[in-house]
């Protein structure tokens, strides 16, 4: 049995930087607050909690005067910065540069379209931290579309008005093919549509590479947190080309008895999966 770790898997640059900044601060100060989970990865969160990282919510800001709070790679809406200032909270802003650029682009386009009666549409997961930050750039007026069915429903109900100028953006971690399909459908419905492909290039290239990796292996072990939106998308991509794909949150969840002596076992994960977790899974498989 051969075991291969996908070289393209592991934390994206934005998440890796946020974790690194948190670790450096904790080494010096011992305690740091994170606005929400720093990464959708329970095992990594537990590791950082042992170093002193504490997750907090907006409701906690009033009691954190004089403290430091980290803004994770997903980014935040403008209201969060106003809340921090009003509460006397210092911020370490680890918003991913790709997300930050997207926020600025959406804010500028919203200002432009507002005067023309237009709409900003965001293809993404409603309620996701990144999407909340993007919608916040439009004072809450952007329309979030989660799927083709959701798009059809919003066109039928008039929530999206194709007679108005429209601008379509995407959450940075969405599936490029799904975004292309949404864009194509909107082009059919609306003549005044601008499409901005804002999917992170590191993420979009990972789709093609992961598809090839999954097809080259006889078994796939996909490691990711249960709350990882990106992980759900990438795992389904693996399973679409390799039916013998298994998603686990930790190495200990790998099912027994699923391997054959001649298997090529591929270990991969989401943009929130750390390298140490992939290596641990590979080590456990080797001992089975």
What's the CATH number where 263 sits?
3.40.1010.20
Instruction: Report which of residues 77 and 225 the model is more confident about.
Output: 77
The per-residue pLDDT for 233 is: 85
For residue 240, what pLDDT is reported? 96
Predicted pLDDT at 2: 96
Q: Among 91-100, 128-137, 182-191, 197-206, whose mean pLDDT is lowest?
A: 197-206
Question: Which residues does the annotation mark as catalytic?
Answer: 130
Mean pLDDT, rounded, of the chain: 94
167 and 217 within one domain: no
Least confident segment among 48-62, 100-114, 142-156, 197-211: 197-211
CATH number, residue 25: 3.40.50.11270
What is residue 176's predicted lDDT score, i.e. its pLDDT? 87
203 pLDDT higher than 80: no
Gyration radius of the chain's alpha carbons: 21
Residue 256's pLDDT is 86
The yes-or-no verdict on residue 204 having pLDDT over 80 is no
Q: Are residues 19 and 35 in the same domain?
A: yes
87 plus 174 within the same structural domain: no
Instruction: Answer yes or no: are the C-beta atoms of 4 and 217 closer than 8 Å.
Output: yes
pLDDT, position 63: 97
What pLDDT score was predicted for residue 220? 98
Sign of the torsion formed by the C-alpha atoms of 160, 162, 165 and 171: positive
Residues 103 and 190 in one domain: yes
Average pLDDT (236-264) is 94
Alpha-carbon distance of 196 to 122, in angstroms, equals 10
Kindly report the number of other CB atoms within 10 A of residue 188's CB atom: 10
Return the structure tokens found at 238: 């693996």
User: Residue 72 sits in which domain range?
Assistant: 13-96
Alpha helices for the chain (secondary structure H): 13-29, 42-51, 78-87, 97-114, 129-136, 148-157, 176-189, 201-216, 229-241, 275-286
Burial class, 184, CB count within 10 angstroms (exposed 0-12 / middle 13-18 / buried 19+): exposed
Question: Which residue reads 């952007």 in tokens?
Answer: 142
The answer to whether the CB of 225 falls within 8 A of the CB of 249 is yes
* b/e 263-273 (16+ beta carbons within 10 angstroms → b): bebbbbbbbbb
- Which carries the bigger pLDDT value, residue 270 or residue 145? 145
111 and 155 inside one domain? yes
How would you class 277 by CB atoms within 10 Å of its CB: exposed for 0-12, middle for 13-18, buried for 19 or more? buried
Does 132 have pLDDT greater than 90? yes
Q: Is the pLDDT of residue 196 over 80?
A: yes
- Closest Cα to residue 18, out of 58, 56, 57, 70? 70
pTM score, two decimals? 0.85
Tell me the helix, strand and coil percentages in the chain, rounded to 5: 50, 20, 35
Residues 106 and 187 in one domain: yes
pLDDT at 26 over 80: yes
Identify the pLDDT of residue 137.
98
Last-in-domain residue among 195, 222, 246 = 195
Query: Whose structure tokens read 């290596």?
Result: 279
Q: For residues 234 and 55, what is the distance between their CA atoms, to the nearest angstrom?
A: 26
Q: Tell me, what's the pLDDT at 40?
A: 86
219 and 281 housed in the same domain: yes
Joined together, the tokens standing for residue 276 give 């140490």
Q: How many domains does the chain have?
A: 3
Confidence class of residue 99 from pLDDT cuts 50, 70 and 90? very high
CA angle 126, 38, 55 (to 5 degrees): 100
Q: State the average pLDDT over residues 117-128.
A: 95
């Amino acid at each position: 049995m051969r075991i291969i770790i996908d070289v393209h898997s592991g934390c994206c640059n934005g998440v890796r930087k946020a974790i690194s900044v948190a670790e450096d601060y904790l080494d010096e100060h011992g305690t740091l607050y994170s606005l929400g989970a720093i990464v959708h990865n329970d095992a990594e969160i537990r590791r950082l909690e042992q170093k002193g990282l504490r997750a907090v919510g907006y409701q906690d800001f009033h009691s954190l005067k004089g403290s430091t709070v980290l803004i994770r790679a997903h980014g935040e809406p403008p209201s969060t910065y106003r809340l921090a200032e009003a509460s006397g909270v210092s911020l370490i802003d680890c918003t991913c540069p790709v997300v930050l650029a997207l926020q600025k682009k959406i804010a500028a386009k919203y200002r432009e379209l507002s005067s023309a009666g237009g709409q900003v549409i965001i293809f993404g997961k409603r309620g996701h931290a990144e999407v909340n930050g993007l919608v916040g750039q439009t004072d809450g007026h952007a329309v979030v579309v989660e799927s083709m069915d959701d798009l059809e429903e919003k066109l039928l109900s008039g929530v999206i008005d194709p007679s108005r100028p429209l601008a379509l953006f995407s959450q940075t971690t969405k599936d490029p093919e799904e975004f292309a399909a949404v864009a194509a459908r909107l082009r059919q419905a609306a003549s005044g549509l601008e499409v901005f492909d804002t999917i992170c290039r590191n993420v979009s290239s990972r789709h093609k590479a992961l598809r090839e990796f999954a097809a080259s292996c006889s078994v796939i072990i996909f490691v990711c947190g249960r709350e990882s939106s990106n992980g759900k998308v990438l795992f389904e991509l693996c399973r679409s080309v390799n039916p013998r794909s298994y998603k686990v949150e930790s190495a200990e969840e790998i099912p027994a008895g699923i391997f054959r002596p001649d298997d090529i076992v591929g270990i991969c994960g989401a943009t929130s999966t750390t390298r140490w977790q992939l290596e641990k899974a590979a080590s456990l498989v080797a001992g089975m």
